[in-house]
Chains A and B, each alone.
Chain A
Amino acid sequence: MDRLLSIIAGVSILLIGVVLLNIRRAHIRVEYSVSWLGAAASMLALSQSPWLLTQLGHLIGVNNQPIALLLVVGALFLIVFFRFSVIISELKDANIALTQKVAILEYQLNAIHEKLQAPSRK
């Protein structure tokens, strides 16, 4: 039990460190790091507070603390993954719309360019 809690605390600290490092290097935008930092902070708090973990275990009807903790950790990551699926979908929609608009604008620009050049060819 203690070992599991220590491992989860270690992983949480490592995750926070990795996320902060990536924010510093501008590999992750701050708004997209919030989910990871929130999940890691929650994991750290739960692993370091047996009372909180017991209360949470009672709340979800699981008396075994390690299983309760793993369930919560799993749920947190599912939420994070879902949030990123939504973000990726929005980005893909926006990307497609922009790509189409770029192609259409390029076509219209070429047509205007040809029209402007046409009299000078005569």
Chain B
Amino acid sequence: MIAATGKHPLMILIPAFNEEGAIATVIGELREQHPELPILVVDDCSADGTRTVALEAGADVITVPYHLGLGGCVQAGYRLAFDLGFQYVIRLDGDGQHDPAYVGLIRDTLLTSGAQMVIGSRYVNGDGKHTSFARGIGIVFFRWFLALILRKEVHDPTSGYVGVNRQALEVFARSFPLEYPEIEALVVLQRLTFRFEEVPVKMRARMAGVSTITAVRSFYYVLHVLLGVLVNILKYQGSKRRL
């Protein structure tokens, strides 16, 4: 079982759903570049061999009993990391889009900046490659929308390549948006007066599988996230239940 060791224990979290085609490569790259870091794959009840492939590649795997969606999956990983005493968690996708070469940069920024969250952004000194047209429009819209709410520019608000420190980990272990969590998570942090930083990363093309955000679902995505942001702004903090 993974354990929090060292002065600044950090865990790599990979939520995965039907990623048997890419997950072994991602874990292999991580193992090669950061052999000291524990890797936890949260398998979202995949129908393929994601769990087996991830275990064989050397990661620890927890499998949720039914399909929770991205947010529920990530929160399960955050909960375990928090319970085990990790100080930092860096989350990256299991499809290979997030190059593990930037884990060190995100970790160093978390350690030195004091920010509660560090986002790997494809638009800070990057070229924004490997972004679908629909997603690109969504990013531009939410960049403008979040600038109004956060009073700070977010270049890549939909990036799932993020690192969090223990303060943010505690918050997210307790409450985390279920679907399309990235943007809502930023609003949650802002309400708690937490800080985030962006660091430049280059995204790659996914190694296998297809994106869950299709052109049609993009409209649902925008509406869902807008409603989620609104709810988070209105949410009464004292009503949160602990389970």
Contacts and interface: CB of A to CB of B under 8 A. Distances in A.
A17 B83 CA distance: 50
A104 interface: yes
Q: Interface extent on B, as a size class?
A: 10 to 19
Interface stretch (B59-67, B115-123, B126-134, B221-229): B59-67
A104 B68 CA distance: 14
Interface string B90-102: 0000000000000
B60 A93 contact: no
Nearest to B69: A96
A31 B151 CA distance: 46
User: Which secondary structure characterizes the binding site on chain A?
Assistant: helix
Interface in A93-109: 93-94, 96-104, 106-108
B80 to A, nearest CB: 5
Contact of B1 (A97, A101, A103, A108): A108
Contacts of A45: none
Contact of B75 (A98, A100, A102, A115): A100
Interface of A: 93-94, 96-104, 106-108, 111, 115
Interface of B: 1, 42, 60-66, 68, 72, 75-76, 79-80, 83, 178, 241, 243
27 contacts: A93-B243, A96-B68, A96-B72, A96-B178, A99-B64, A99-B66, A99-B68, A100-B68, A100-B72, A100-B75, A100-B76, A100-B79, A101-B79, A101-B243, A102-B64, A103-B63, A103-B64, A103-B65, A104-B62, A104-B76, A104-B79, A104-B83, A107-B62, A107-B80, A108-B1, A111-B1, A115-B1
